Structure 1
Amino acid sequence: MRILIFLLAMCGVLTACSNAQVLENPLKKVLSSKNPNIKRVMDSVDQYEVQIRYTQIDRGKDSVLFTDYDFQVDREDYFYPASTVKFPIAVLALEKLNEIDTLNRNTRFYVEGDSVETTFAKAVSEIFAVSDNHANNRLVEFLGQDAINGRLRNKGIDPVRISHRLGYHSDDVTTKPLVIYLNDSTTATLEGSVNTAPRPLQLNKIRKGTGFYEEDSLMEGPFDFSLKNYYPIDAQHGVLKRVIFPEKFSEKEKFQLTESQREYLLGTMHTLPKAVGYDPITYYDGYCKFFLYGDTKEDIPDHIKIYNKVGFAYGTLTDCAYIVDTKNDVEFMLSATILVNKDDIFNDNQYEYDAIGIPFLAELGRLLYDYELKRDK
C-alpha cells in the first residue's frame, strides 16, 4: 500500500513538472532578464508602449505547429507602424502583377511626373534592403490605398488601414498613372485610382505626447495619429506567416504568388544591403535588422538569415521577423514595437533610438535566440 501511495505521489510530481514545462512562458522569462537593455525598459514599461509577439515553430514529419506568446499585444492600442507597411505593399504588388498579362517583376516603369525609371523587382529590393520610401510610394501608386486595404482584409489580415504614402503625409487620395514599357520602344499607361478618404481612427493612445513641432513652431497638446497608417502586431504577424508558411493557409487567405515570385521575395527579405551594392559603412548588416544585430556593426554570419521588415519614425521602432539559423537548427518568428520619446514631444527628432529602443530589440532577439538554442523541439 505504501509503495502504491509513493508511486502515485511520484506520478503527481512528474505530472506537475511536465505541466510546468508546458505552461512555461519563455517571453515572460526573457523579459524578466537583468540585462540593462531589457531591464531599463521593463522598469518603465508603460512609458515605452511595448508590444511583442513571439512564435515558436515545431516541425513534425509533414506538419508545422505554431505556439504564440504575447506581451501586451492589443490591436486597440495604437502605435505608428512607419515602414513596416512596406512589407504587405511589396507582396501585394507582386500579386497584382500576376493579374496583368503584359507585366512581370522586371517590367520597366515610371510614375507620371517622376523622372526615375525603375522596375517592380528593383522597388521590392530597395524596400527590404534600405527601406526606401520612394520605392514604396511607387508601388502605392500602382496599387491604390483601397485595393491594398481590401486585398488584406479579404485574406483575413485585419484590422489594417493604409492611408498615406511615406516620407511625407499626403492627403491626396488619387494615385498617379504609371507609364509602363511594353518593350524598348512601346509604352502604355496604367491609369491611377481615386481612393476613399481616411476617417479618423478611434483607438486607445491615438493621441500621444504633450506637444509637437509643426514646421518650426512648437504646438502644445498631444500629436494626433488618427489619420495615419494603422498596422497592428496581429496584422504584421499574419502577413509574415502567410509569406513564410503559405501551406498553413487556405487559398483565400494566402497571397497568390508564383513560386518564382515567392523565392524572389524571400531573397530580398533576408539579403543584406552590401549584397545589392549599398555602402557597407553606411548600410551595415544590422541597419534594417533590429533583432540580434541592430545595436552592432558586426557582420551577420552566413548561417543566420533574418527575413523581416523594420519601421522607425515618430519615436516608434518596430520589427517583424522570421529568424533562421541553419547551422544550429533554430527558427522562430518575432514581432515587437517600442516607443522611445522621453521628452514627450513629437517631430523634434529627439528620440532614444540608439540609446534605448534598438538595444532593447536587439537584446530581445538575442535572448529568445539563446532560448531557442536550448529548447527541446
Structure 2
Amino acid sequence: MRNSVFITLIISICVCSCTTPIDTVLTSEHPAIQKVMDSLDTYEVQILYTQIDTTSKGLVKFKDYAFQENQKTYFYPASTVKLPIALLASEYVTAHPELDLDTPYISKRDSVLHSVADDMRQIFAVSDNEAYNRLYDLLGRDAINTRLKALGLAPTRISHRLSTSNADAAERATIKFFPSYEGDVVTIENQTDGPIADVKAKHQQKGTGYFKDGNLMQTPFDFSKKNYFPLQAQHELMKRFFFEDQFDADERFAISYTDKIRIQKMMHTLPRKAKYDPETYYDSYGKFFLYGDSKDPIPEHIKIYNKVGYAYGTLTETAYVVDEKAGIHFLLSATILVNKNGIFNDDTYEYDTVGIPFLAQLGREIYALEKGRKQ
C-alpha cells in the first residue's frame, strides 16, 4: 500500500510538472474552447505564449510556452506575411538616405502616388492586399527571404503576392520614387526574382478537394508553393521588434528609432482612428484575440500590436498585448484551421462559429491568467 501511494504521488508530480499555462487555459469550460478541444485533431491548432517579467536589475525576462507548435507542420499564413514585409520596407528606406517613409512613389501596378508609410497604414488598419503587393515588388522575394534568414527567422519562405493574378510571377513591377519636388527620381525596374525555393514541411497537401475555375477538383489542395511563415518565426519577429535589446545586433531590424515608434503606433491603431468607416471596419476587424467575437469598441488603455491572417480556412494572429492601466503585457501567437468539409476555395469555413470565438476566448483566458500573476 505504501509503495502504491508513493508511486501515485510520483505520477501526480510528473503530470503537474508538465502542465503549462496554455494547458490550463485549454481546460476552460467556455464553449468556444471546449468545441475546439473536443475535436482537436480537426483544427491543427498551434499556440505560443510568452510571459514577460522584469528582474530586480531592470532586465526583461521571457518565459515561453508552446502548445502543438511545430515549424515543420505547414499552415497557410495568409496576411500575417504582411508584417515582415512592412518592416523590411522600412529597412529599405532606412538604407537609402534619399528616401524616407513618406517619399512619394508610383508603382507600375497602378498610376496613383503612394508612400511606404501609407502602405503600412493600410496593411495594419485593414490588411490591404495591394499595399502588400507594392511593397513585395519593391523588395522582391529573393531579398525578403535572404534578409529573414539573416535575422534568424528561417525557415520562413515568402513566395507570392496576394489576391492577384500571376501572384508568384518572378518579374516585379517598376517603381519610381520622387524624393524631392525638383525632378529627382529613383527608379527600380527590370527586377526579376529566382524560382520559388522548396521548404521542408509536413501537411502541405490539405483537405479532400478544392474548387478551381468553378469546378470541384477531388484531390487535396497543394500549398507547397504558397507563402510559409511558421508560428515560431512570427512570435520571434514580435520579440525582435518590441524587445530588440534582448537580441544581438545582427538579429535586429535595421530601422531608425523614430520609424520604429511610428510603425508600432500603426500596429495598434484601430481602423476608426485611421479614418476608416467604423461600420465596416469595426475595432476588432483585424484583432482576434480578446475582442474578435465582438463589434464593441476596444478600450483606450488596451493596445494590441498585431497582425492577423485569414484565408483558406486558416485563422492566425501574432500579437503583443498591453493593458496600460493594469500593467499587463504578454506575447501570444496562435493558428487554427476551420474547414469542416475539407474543401478549399468554396468559401465555406467556420470562421465566425468556431475560429474567431476560439481565438477571442483564448486571448481572454491568457489575459485573466496574466491578471492573476500581477495580483
Q: Given the two structures, how large is their TM-score scaled by the length of structure 2? A: 0.93
Q: Is the 8 A contact 1:178 1:192 kept in 2?
A: no
Q: Is the 8 A contact 1:128 1:309 kept in 2?
A: yes
Superposition RMSD in Å: 1.8
Equivalent residue, structure 2, for 1:93: 89
Q: Is the 8 A contact 1:202 1:226 kept in 2?
A: no
Q: Which consecutive unaligned segments of at least 5 residues does structure 2 have?
A: 1-8
How far 1:238 moved relative to its partner?
A: 1.1
CA distance in 2, matches of 1:258, 1:192: 29
1:110-135 per-position Cα deviation (integer Å, ceiling 9, x unaligned): 11241221111000111100000000
How far 1:215 moved relative to its partner?
A: 1.4
1:89-109 per-position Cα deviation (integer Å, ceiling 9, x unaligned): 000000111111210000000
1:194 to 182, 185, 192: 192
Equivalent residue, structure 2, for 1:252: 250
Q: Is the 8 A contact 2:109 2:134 kept in 1?
A: no
How far 1:183 moved relative to its partner?
A: 2.0
1:65 to 61, 65, 73: 61
Q: Residue 33 in 1 paired to residue 28 in 2? A: yes
Q: Is the 8 A contact 2:272 2:281 kept in 1?
A: yes
Q: Residue 117 in 1 paired to residue 113 in 2? A: yes
Q: Is the 8 A contact 1:310 1:319 kept in 2?
A: yes
How far 1:189 moved relative to its partner?
A: 1.2
SS class of match (2:177): strand
1:274-318 per-position Cα deviation (integer Å, ceiling 9, x unaligned): 001100011000000000001100111011100000000000000
Equivalent residue, structure 2, for 1:175: 172
Question: Counterpart amino acid of 1:350?
Answer: T
SS class of match (2:135): helix
Question: Counterpart amino acid of 1:116?
Answer: V
1:189-234 per-position Cα deviation (integer Å, ceiling 9, x unaligned): 1224221211443421100000100011111110000000000011
Relative to structure 1, the CA distance from residue 130 to residue 101 in structure 2 (aligned partners, 3 Å threshold; closer, same or farther) is: same
Relative to structure 1, the CA distance from residue 112 to residue 345 in structure 2 (aligned partners, 3 Å threshold; closer, same or farther) is: same
2:147 to 147, 151, 156: 151
Which 4+ runs in 1 deviate beyond 4 A?
19-24
Question: Counterpart amino acid of 1:156?
Answer: G
Equivalent residue, structure 2, for 1:343: 341
How far 1:45 moved relative to its partner?
A: 0.7
2:280 to 278, 282, 305: 282
CA distance in 2, matches of 1:116, 1:247: 39
Question: Counterpart amino acid of 1:171?
Answer: D
Equivalent residue, structure 2, for 1:206: 204
CA distance in 1, matches of 2:168, 2:15: 53
1:216 to 214, 224, 231: 214
Q: Which consecutive unaligned segments of at least 5 residues does structure 1 have?
A: 1-12
Identity %: 49
